[in-house]
Amino acid sequence: MSAATEAMVVDHLPADAWLTDLGIHPLRDLPRPERVVQLCHPDVCNEFPPLRVTAATAQRLPRPLTSFVGRAREKQELCDLVTSNRLVTLTGAGGVGKTRIALEVAHEVKRQFPDGVWWVDLASLTDQRVVPLAVARTVGLPDQPGRSTVDTLVTFGGDRRILLVFDNCEHLLDACGELIAALIDRCPALTILATSREPVGVAGEFVWRVPSLPLDSEAVELFVDRARRTRPDFRLVEDSARVVTEVCRRLDGMPLAIELAAARVRTLTLTQIRDSLHDRFRLLTGGSRTAVRRQQTLRASVEWSHALLTEPERVLFRRLAAFMNGFDLDAAQAVGADDDARPSSRPVSTRAGWTVSPPLRNRRCRARSHPRSPQPVGRQVVGRRRRRRQSDALPISRDSAPVRTRKAE
């Protein structure tokens, strides 16, 4: 029955009858989708196949206002992964482009999920307990008295071939992990694509780390595209191309940083932008007003990552920040061996935005911070006195020149 019929009969039901909300669906001859309710009674069959969801109402994906630059190979690889795995998590540092490539992939594969594709934006949530409710609201499910929200979602999922995209999970990992595990376990045809600064930690999860843009091509292309949105007459010539390439290199190919830098062409020359990158956290501001705060400035993005760390992880992060040219496992163990700097079971590198290079032949696995992060680390968490003590005690990495500490601001 429709919601209008429900309102008429709800106060006149037998004591042992109940109503089950089936969500929002299009009904014949009605101009807009309506909420559908099932009347249940113990003397009749109450189990039926889930109602089919039409494509017109099932695809709830944002429409980006800017073009998607590059990453054609990565996009195709992710499309293949999403259609062959039930849980794929995109990880990476803040500003690397996890949300955008997830959105592009969702649009690309939506025809593979005939029962619906929904985008669940978790960025603004602060309470772990409301995660299931946020998902239910996204797919159009109201509260059902006497049933948990998770059970309601599981009933809705049923055997539907659905794709749910959970965006920005990193600050709600416990709740996201529990909900995702329940949905994956109890809804056999449901697929989840998640974005997070670290893995969700659910069995069967396929973790795919989003890389920075290639510096010699796609990073420059992104800069030019975003610069033209600010200044339509912007053109790239030989001299300016070298400067833009240098800007992208110093920003490590990070899309958020490149977009913020490109927006400055309205008031600064390319040379001024490049020369101002020594204070990039003052320069790279002015992101979209509709974005969450941590995506509006580079400083906010880095501070958000640091805030996600536990106190032991922050202690370790402060010590590792003294390595200017990166470090290997032996060096990290040397500065973080005591209990004060012993992190949790989750790798601190995934949350703090370190780039980890896999071992090559006889070389060890190495990690380094992004070039965009030394300044807040240097200013806010590493003092001159502590640096001096650490630099005396730090080991020399076997695979690089002697360790140099960052100059205190």
Nearest to 295 by CA among 335, 260, 344, 320: 260
Q: What is the mean pLDDT of residues 359-365?
A: 49
pTM: 0.67
Q: What is the mean pLDDT of residues 136-143?
A: 85
Return the pLDDT at 397: 47
The lowest-confidence range among 97-101, 183-187, 268-272, 396-400 is 396-400
Return the pLDDT at 401: 44
pLDDT at 141 over 70: yes
Band (231; pLDDT cuts 50, 70, 90): very high
How is 297-359 classified by DSSP, letter by letter?
Answer: -HHHHHHHHHHTS-HHHHHHHHHHTT-SS-EEHHHHHHHS-SGGG---SS-HHHHHT-EEEPP
Going from the C-alpha of 229 to that of each of 65, 225, 233, the distances in angstroms are 11, 7, 9
- Of all residues in the chain, what percent are helix, strand and coil, respectively (each to 5)? 45, 10, 40
Q: Which residues pair with 209 in a beta bridge?
A: 91
How does strand 18-25 pair with strand 34-40? antiparallel
Return the pLDDT at 382: 46
Return the pLDDT at 323: 65
Domains of the chain: 3-48 (no CATH), 56-209 (3.40.50.300), 218-303 (no CATH), 309-393 (no CATH)
State the residue for tokens 């592009």.
104
Q: What is the crossing angle of helices 98-109 and 72-84, to 10°?
A: 60
Band (180; pLDDT cuts 50, 70, 90): very high
**Amino acid at position 360, single letter:** L
Return the pLDDT at 374: 43
d(CA 407, CA 378): 8
